[in-house]
Amino acid sequence: MKNFWLELPKPFFTLAPMYDVTDSAFRQMFVRYGQPDVFFTEFVSVDGLLNDQGRSKVLRELYFKPNEHKIVAQIFGSDPAKFYEAAKLIAGLGFDGIDINMGCPDKTIIKQCAGSALIKKPEIAQAIIEATKRGAPNLPVSVKTRIGYSKPDELENWLGEILKAQPALLTVHLRTVKEMSKVPAHWELAPAVVALARQAGVLIMANGDIGTLAEAKIKAESFKLDGVMIGRGAFGNPWFFSGQTDISHRQKLEVAVEHSAMFEDLYGSTKTNQELFGGHTKNFAIMKKHFKAYVKDFPGAAPLRAKLMEAKNASEVKAIINHHLVSQTLD
């Protein structure tokens, strides 16, 4: 097996997998303005991937462009046998690795005994890792999880069980499932997490509340991490991994236009979408969460954002922002 994680310069910095966020349109903004060492896809259901009727739609979420390498497919589910089959399928799609989601706190995912529900079922979690490895023997299989389900002090038992299965890399969101993202990440627990990983001989990455690349570098050095993953800190900021922090509001608005056009081309009712995904589109309303991130902290941001929330397509976004740029003076 070629484990690309071992070949990356340390520390490495990655863009977190986020549902309805880290699609190819979003990733392409980072390709253009500051690419991370590794991208992850949105998480994909192994059940959907193996369903004859649902597969074509699910494969849309696994689409990537050649300039997005290194890129890892993230999957979730609860049945080791399905992870084996899904891994075999993914191995033929050109990905650099597979990541297993064992940390999603969404209630609908937990009801499926998937995501963070696996924290309460370590024996199944181990079986899933082993099955995924067998299904894709030439790809590194990593795991993303949290420090525990209800209490931070669960981390030693839970992570210890995961590490027995020897994933290629372990990423730990430094919060419990119950905490969601409502409390500060427990960076004080990073030394314990790193010690467990080092003892098992597994690469370790952490994430939670990272606002800048400089901060990520400090965390990596301070806690001897192999890497740091960035999630919400990269919203509306495709320059994050370049280290640039002096981005003007005008630049952000121009990228919002660019991002909207890319999203519509890939996921709207377009020729591109028909050719790539057979007409499986996404709702343009997904862009609203991005507008909230691109359009803030400058005079007139609130009314502009409100107008963008009503936009139905990329052309309307462009017209609204261009009108604003002509009528306002932005730094």
DSSP 147: E
CB-based burial, 218-256: b 16+ in 10 Å, e otherwise: ebbeebebbbbbbbbbbbbbbbbbeeeeebebbbbbbbb
For residue 269, the one-letter residue type is: S
On whether the CB atoms of residues 74 and 21 are closer than 8 A, the answer is no
Q: Is 113 considered catalytic here?
A: no
- The pair of structure tokens assigned to 33 is 């303005």
Question: Rounded to an integer, what distance in angstroms lies between the CA atom of residue 268 and that of residue 151?
Answer: 43
25, 44, 62, 104: the catalytic one is: 104
Strands, DSSP E only, in 180-306? Answer: 203-207, 227-230
Q: How far is CA 16 from CA 51, 143, 198, 274, 281, in A?
A: 26, 12, 22, 28, 23
Strands of the sheet containing 203-207, edge to edge, are: 12-15, 227-230, 203-207, 169-176, 141-148, 97-102, 71-76, 39-45
Q: What are phi and psi of 107, to 5 degrees?
A: -65, -35
Active site residues: 104
